[in-house]
Amino acid sequence: MPDYGRPLRFGSFISPVSQPPRRPVDLAVLSEDLGLDLVTFQDHPYQAALHDTWTLLTWVAARTSHIHVAGNVLNLPLRQPAVLARALASLDLLSDGRAELGIGSGGYFDAMASMGAPLLTPAEAVSGLDEALDIVRGIWDVEATTALRVEGRFHRVDGVQRGPATARRIPIWVGAYKPRMQRMIGRKGDGWLPSLPWLQPGGVAEGNRIIDDSARRAGRDPGDIARLLNIVPPVSAEQMARLAIEDGVSTFILGSDDPGELRRFAEVTVPEIRDRVENARAGSGHAATTTPPAPSMAPALAGDPGAAVTGCACTGSRRPGLRRVHVGVLPGGPPRHGAETAVARSGTGRCAVRRPAPRRAAGRP
């Protein structure tokens, strides 16, 4: 696939742990100090060990001055789209244009239902997301002269006032792994935000093909749709540069709560990625196509694409009061139901690893 020529951006993906309360905020401030462009947080409101992601985003935006903030990705079934649109607009205005919208259809449907969301099938959740994108964009469209009406099966607004106007056009990035959602991105989205460990070999190129075809059918330029990617250590600058040049990925977001890893990424890996991509774009170099790709997951998860980190407390911080902690699921990974837990060891500590068992139908045919 082509290099879409978009500017490179780099970010962090931080676990929104609630204990100690300020740990994710400190890591967000560190991300800004290191010169990263973006700080993001997963959104699992049914996890009692985590901060509410929206509250955390507003706090981080108030504690920083130039880094952009986003959910990675926000859980739509538990965040009513019209209210979410107004909240994004307000945060964008208050932060001088630093709010981004990363959103997904949800995945842990039983857990979401326990919080009061309707118990949806995956197909229903995707349909709801399609409707929600129309509502969000409609709320932000303050130039329209009529009230907003969207008659959806799962989301609706009936004559709602539009606004407030955002500080600038907020991009909508969608977390997606399947063709139906990727086609939706081509029609309506501003960016594709998957996690590299959860993609099958060739998944980036295939997803790009689906998104580009859908965009062209909708009369859109595929280059207007950003390609973002969640990545995990260890990170190969060669592999990331190939993904930029050959697959058009322009934003790389490192999932780590280790200050040392964030620092190495920002100070060592990012400059090398930039140099490789700039040289390739200038015609003075080329993306290496014969170098073996770096491991896409930490060694504890190697060979198990269905595993997800659920409770990792690993030492190794270079900053007092902070340590490497992962809670919830592997950033951006698709949900796995009925999982059993195993413990894997690495050189930095102990990590609980979930391996998926077959999903129970939960009363649905």
User: Where along the chain do its domains lie?
Assistant: 9-289
Which residue positions in the chain have pLDDT lower than 70? 1, 284-365
Q: Where are the alpha helices (DSSP H) in 218-339?
A: 237-247, 259-264, 270-282
**Residues listed for the chain:** 365
Fold for 9-289, please state it: TIM Barrel (3.20.20)
| Rounded-to-integer distance, Cα 12 and Cα 70, Å | 10
What separation in angstroms does the CA of 339 have from each of 69, 138, 226, 342, 354? 31, 39, 33, 10, 6
Q: What is the pLDDT of residue 293?
A: 36
Q: What is the torsion angle, in degrees rounded to the nearest 10, for the CA atoms of residue 270, residue 16, residue 108 and residue 215?
A: -40
Q: What is the pLDDT of residue 313?
A: 33
- Give the DSSP letter of residue 111: H
What separation in angstroms does the CA of 194 have from each of 105, 166, 187, 346? 13, 26, 17, 25
Q: Which of 272, 212, 293 is nearest to 248 (CA)?
A: 212
Q: The tokens of 273 are what?
A: 């990625």
Q: What is the pLDDT of residue 1?
A: 53
Q: What is the pLDDT of residue 2?
A: 81
